[in-house]
Structure 1
Amino acid sequence: MQNALSRSNVQALQTTATFDSVTDEFIIDTPNNGAIKWWIGNSTLHGKFATVFARLILPLQGKGGEPADMGIHAFIVPIRDLETHAVLPGIEINDCGHKIGLNGVDNGALRFRSVRIPRDNLLSRFGDVARDGKYTSSLPTINKRFAATLGELVGGRVSLAYSSVGILKVAVTIAVRYALLRQQFGPPKQPEISVLDYQSHQHKLMPMLASAYAFHFARRYLVDKYSEMKKTNDEDISADVHVLSSGLKSYITSYTAKSISICQESCGGHGYAAVNRFGGLRNDHDIFQTFEGDNTVLLQQVAGDLLKQYQQKFKGGTLSVTWNYLRDSMSTYLSQPNPVTARWEGEDHLRDPKFQLDAFRKHMKTLGGFGAWNRCLNHLLTLAESHVEAVILARFIEAVKSRPDAKTREVLKLVCDLYALDRIWKDIGTYRNVDYVAPNKAKAIHKLVDYLSYQVRLVARELVDAFDLPDEVIRAPIGMQSEAYAQYTQCVGF
């Protein structure tokens, strides 16, 4: 059972693990209420062991015989007797109580009062303590050891980003299938039409469907990079995956959280029925924005890395792995806008991947030159979001190009264009302020987004079916592929 860190400033957490050379043990202590470990999964009723992050303290080994603080390390701490299941002495466990969602997860809060564990219970990959109390590590500084230790937690962010895309697919599938099924009004003396034929409904759902596809390819890239990191233990790849997972986890989970509510609203009264799952999806997914790091804090980490990358670029240094595939058009987005291209408004130009990526990167450049961190923090968060969007678009464009089938490429290109231009339109104020997009071009982008939404609507059924989500996963009666109304009426007792 892994400890869920309850504070953003993990490097300053207060739980201590003090080495006792007489007994060859570590003593785990929670010094105050602020250091209690909250939201520990499976702890209140079932967990037998916890992986506890604590400050490693070596008595008499600091300057002047003072205790030496070696920084954050991980320890295996037994919390229950394996035979009787009783909570062990010195361990206090309390239930965190009823939650908004995920109440099937047993979350507890842990306090440690002088809990002794064997020296071998130190997870010593990045730092070890010998029997005589001597400390050794292959990493030279506390900061490097801390980064390596927390790097092992990246998998949690990868899994949350991955799972959030799956939840978005479910919500979009239910909403799109119902919108195709539900008929309302239409031309006088004509049959009613599907609500998805209304431009306003297309404007709600089609960019969301495009985003689900964009996130699908981004998460696949993230998983590939994470697998490469685990295989190679390469320091540069590890640092890159840390930033990439932070950005994608934050961006995707925030987007999905908003999208679930939009999907519910788009289904009218039936969207409010618990059996159609939007309430459960929303409540269970909501914590994804906090799990494994608060989304705002994670975006701050991305922004900090971007500032370092800008500094390296302007000093002639090398770029990290993430930036390698974005640097091809570096000269374009660092240059002044071309007064001619700023006014180009033809469809071929607006659907050109080079224009779309350059626009995303120009957005990043516009937001990148700031001074004091805190005074500009809101701008830096927007910078981080723009970077994540550029990463997602780059992966989507690459996926489109790599499809061997021409028809598949055509459809995916349509979806990719909608994703890119919808994002540009949503930030059109920024592009206008820096004269990157002239007024007529902005109007052309808006018009093209509406047109592309209509084009995607024509293949919306096929696009959600391509997610290949079985009925056991969808479960919402209004989201089934066939006989949706019949199944729904049965659920409510007809």
Structure 2
Amino acid sequence: MALDTDQHATTTDRREERAAHRGAPPLTADVAGLRAFLDGPYAEVRDEVRRGLADHASLLDEDVDLSRDELRERVRDIVVGIGGTGQAAHGFPPAHGGGGDIGASVAAFETLAYGDLSVLVKSGVQYGLFGGAVQQLGTARHHDAYLADIVAGRLLGCFAMTETGHGSNVQQLGTVARHDPDTDEIVVTTPDDTARKDYIGNAARDGELAVVFAQLEVGGERRGVHAVLVPIRVDGEPAPGVRIEDCGAKIGLEGVDNGRLWFDDVRVPRDNLLDRFATIDEDGEYRSSIDNPDRRFFTMLGTLVQGRVSVGGAGLGASKVALTIAVRYALRRRQFETEKGEGETLLLDYGMHQRRLLPLLARTYALTAAQEEVARQLHEVFGADTPDADDRARRALESRAAGTKAVTTWHATRAIQEAREACGGAGYLSANRFAALKADTDVFTTFEGDNHVLLQLVAKGLLTDYSSEFEDLDQFGMVRFVAGLAVDTVIERTAAHQLLERIRDVLPGGRDGWDQEAGLLDPDYQLAMLRYREEHQLAGAARRLKAGVDDGGDPGVVFRTVQDHVIGAARSHVDRLVLEAFVARVRALPEGHTREVLTALSDLYALTTIEADRGWFLEHGRLSAPRSKAITREVGAIMRRLRPVARDLVDAFGVPEDVLGAEDLIG
């Protein structure tokens, strides 16, 4: 009987699929409409960057034989030139030569990723990390003294946070900044080699001033990590007490001068402390408006979230370059004759080739919508008119930025690799961009935080619902926090659970049949599936954490045991946010070709996301075997509809021909 039921369900699903697509007209794409969707509210800013990319297209020419020092000099000149044009100034205050628009700054950075990525990263170090730290952590005297020169590229600097012994665990940095009351100076010291500053962009060759993160000591008492401005070069030579070493060859980004820094009791004025959140007064007393040291530390780091948002956008930009090349190659390269003797078949007409590239295209579009949403929130929280962000909004932004950065940079790694393979041996030639794209983006998954660590931050927000204790909780504190609550309380307080409850009541089939009777192309069904997975995994992680502590387990051991469940719940949460952002953007469009194409892309992203985790959905009773098969058939049908507009989909990315390169592949 069960077999008969399955056969009936399968027949029904196939009948519904045929009915859904029998009368569906071929998709027609409007490249301009798709470009407007992708570029969002900053189309003019993006076009300005596109025009400027031609100025450094020569760096992408693999035939140009430059030494490392020559390459670094060329990259530096371009980065300084970007400052001179004002393209790096969008996010800085107008009083210091900026545009006061963080959203425009992120959009410009994302688009710069179409070109040479050494230029992108060095620009990010100079204007995003170094300049951003002075802006966000400093006060008026620092802004007046430095920002105009930083924005214009006249003062090059470093963001000296990471140490050889500490990367993600910034709170335990070893560098010490001790206030000397006798001279009213701050003495910066590297106590051992594990505390040397490592992998610091702009340090090995060009940086003159560094924002150094160190343990501040005042009156013999440690006050936690703070940021201090320290000169590292004078007239091109290392400043007194500063030792500098080149990190040497890297996998990629050879145009960026990463270096190591040691500080041998380097003395700087007390005013060099970036003191937005804490200061040392004239009497040598430490003062802060935030009493709790953990909250002060996390508040300080939270202001630097633009870096994570920007890296995620850069990963998307690189993905768009790779997919543009691969799709255009697949529309040019032919292989194997057809049975009818009509000549060889285009690669993209093969179902497997569509399977390799079109879901990645759909995911790129979805992540672009999600990236725009996090950039919008960044602008709202840290825009020029809101210098002191609402705590809850800031925490929510920090979590969303962390999760979005993780999934976009992982996507970049996967998309670039798949695109390279889809171009066969030709894709292995350096001249065709993939060598640089792979090598230069590989570090994005650990830039601005290791992706797994960032997903732990997302999970902390989900499990604590950004409670008043949020800032104080490390991973062990999070375990203790969850253990002190009834698990149902943890689940019921989550937005995912509340949304799930609402959507179950409105879907076809009601609360019991919502996931079996709703149409596969119903975005409410797709969202509900991802919400259910998120809620269930979050509940499971909470139960495991609580049970481990209730059984007498050490919180650290409990967390390590449950860590994979915690990160799994966070990834599911981000998947849901991405689809939610994409669906909302598409629904806001007027009827027409653009909306129709984007709806198909949204369906493809949603169904391939469910399909990729079909084992979980089957195990938890959210999919029947026939419905799981129906999803795969629907994915195939959507890809066949998208195939005729594939070139339009990548043309809409707007990668300039001058920097796209890969002439051997795309003509």
Structure-2-length-normalised TM-score = 0.67
Q: Match for 2:520: what amino acid?
A: L
C-alpha deviation, 1:246, in angstroms: 0.9
Please state if 1:200 is matched with 2:332.
Answer: no
Q: What is the letter of the counterpart of residue 466 of structure 1?
A: A
Structure 1 counterpart of 2:203, which letter?
A: S
Shift of 1:339: 5.2
How much has 1:186 moved relative to structure 2?
Answer: 3.8
Q: Which residue of 2 aligns with 1:298?
A: 454
Q: Give the Cα separation in 1 of the matches to 2:488 and 2:187.
A: 48
Q: Does structure 2 conserve the Cα–Cα contact (< 8 Å) formed by 1:337 and 1:435?
A: no
Look up the match of 1:50: 210
Letter in 2 for 1:195: L
| Separation in 2, partners of 1:144, 1:242 | 14
1:114 aligns with 2:268: no
1:412 counterpart = 2:598? yes
Q: Deviations over 1:240-279 (max 9, x none)?
A: 1211111111111011102111111111111111111111
Q: Could you tell me how far apart the structure 2 residues matched to 1:14 and 1:424 are?
A: 45
Report the counterpart of residue 106 of structure 2 in structure 1: none
CA shift, 1:25, in A, is 0.4
Distance 1:289 1:251, change over 3 A: same
Q: CA–CA distance in 1 between the matches of 2:325 and 2:273?
A: 48
User: How many Å apart are 1:34 and its aligned residue?
Assistant: 1.1
Quickly say closer, same or farther: Cα 1:193–1:406, change in 2 above 3 A. Answer: same
Q: Deviation digits for residues 139-181 of structure 1, max 9, x if unmatched? A: 1210111012111221111110111111111111100011011
Which of 186, 190, 203 lines up with 1:26 in the alignment? 186
Partner of 2:532: 362
1:131 corresponds in structure 2 to 282
Partner of 2:361: 209
Partner residue in 2 for 1:456: 642
Alignment of 1:58-73 (within 5 A): 58-59=218-219, 67-73=220-226
1:329 maps to: 500
CA distance in 2, matches of 1:297, 1:429: 26
> What's 1:280 paired with?
436
Greater shift, 248-257 or 369-378, is seen at: 369-378
Q: Deviations over 1:377-412 (max 9, x none)?
A: 112111111111111100000111111242211110
Say yes or no: does 1:436 pair with 2:622. Answer: yes
Amino acid at match of 2:232: I
CA distance in 2, matches of 1:339, 1:329: 13
Contact 1:367 1:383 in 2 (8 A): yes
The Cα shift of 1:315 comes to 4.3
Q: Which amino acid aligns with 1:193?
A: T
146-155 or 384-393: which moved more?
Answer: 146-155
Task: Determine if contact 1:333/1:365 at 8 Å carries over to the other structure.
Answer: no
> Contact 2:369 / 2:585 at 8 angstroms: preserved in 1?
yes
Q: Is residue 2:280 matched to residue 1:162?
A: no
Equivalent in the alignment of 1:490: none
Q: SS in structure 2 opposite 1:75? A: strand
Residue of structure 1 equivalent to 2:160 = 3
Alignment of 1:320-399 (within 5 A): 323=495, 327-332=498-503, 340-344=513-517, 349-368=519-538, 369-370=540-541, 371=545, 372-399=558-585
Q: Which residue of 2 aligns with 1:150?
A: 301
- For the residues of structure 2 that align with 1:333 and 1:141, how far apart are their CA atoms? 42
> Which segment drifts farther, 98-107 or 129-138?
129-138
- Equivalents in 2 of 1:100, 1:367: separation in Å? 36
Gaps of 5+ in 2: 1-157, 467-481, 546-557
State the number of aligned residues.
Answer: 466
Question: What's the CA shift for 1:125?
Answer: 0.2
2: CA distance, partners of 1:319 / 1:477: 54
Could you tell me the percent identity over the aligned residues?
A: 39
Q: Which secondary structure does the structure 2 equivalent of 1:436 belong to?
A: coil
Question: What do residues 52-79 of structure 1 show as CA deviations (whole Å, max 9, x unaligned)?
Answer: 01111112xxxxxxx2111111100011
SS at match of 1:124: coil
TM-score after normalising by structure 1: 0.90
C-alpha distance in 2 between matches for 1:107 and 1:221: 32
8 Å Cα contact 2:500-2:532 kept in structure 1: no
Secondary structure of the residue that 2:233 maps to in structure 1? coil
Contact 1:342-1:435 at 8 Å conserved across structures = no
List per-residue Cα deviations over 1:186-235 (Å, max 9, x = no partner).
42222222110111001100000001101111111111111111122222
C-alpha distance in 1 between matches for 2:630 and 2:275: 59
Residue 15, structure 1, aligned to residue 165, structure 2: no
**CA deviation map 1:22-56 (0-9, x unaligned):** 10001111111111110111111111100001111
1:360 & 1:164 partners in 2: Cα distance? Answer: 24
Higher percent of residues as helix: 2
SS across alignment from 1:43: coil
Note the residue ranges of structure 1 that are not aligned, 5 or more in a row. Answer: 60-66, 485-494
User: How far has the Cα of 1:337 moved from its partner?
Assistant: 10
2:514/2:525 contact within 8 Å kept: no
1:246 and 2:402 aligned? yes
Q: Distance in 2 between matches of 1:246 and 1:108?
A: 26
| Larger CA deviation: 335-344 vs 376-385 | 335-344
- The residue type paired with residue 40 of structure 1 is I
Contact map agreement 1:4 1:39 (CA 8 A) in 2: no
SS in 2 for 1:110: strand
The residue number in structure 2 matching 1:491 is none
Question: For the residues of structure 1 that align with 2:392 and 2:498, how far apart are their CA atoms?
Answer: 17
CA distance in 2, matches of 1:342, 1:52: 53
CA RMSD of aligned residues (A): 2.3
Q: Point out which structure has higher relative CO (alpha carbons under 8 A, 6+ apart).
A: 2
SS at match of 1:293: coil
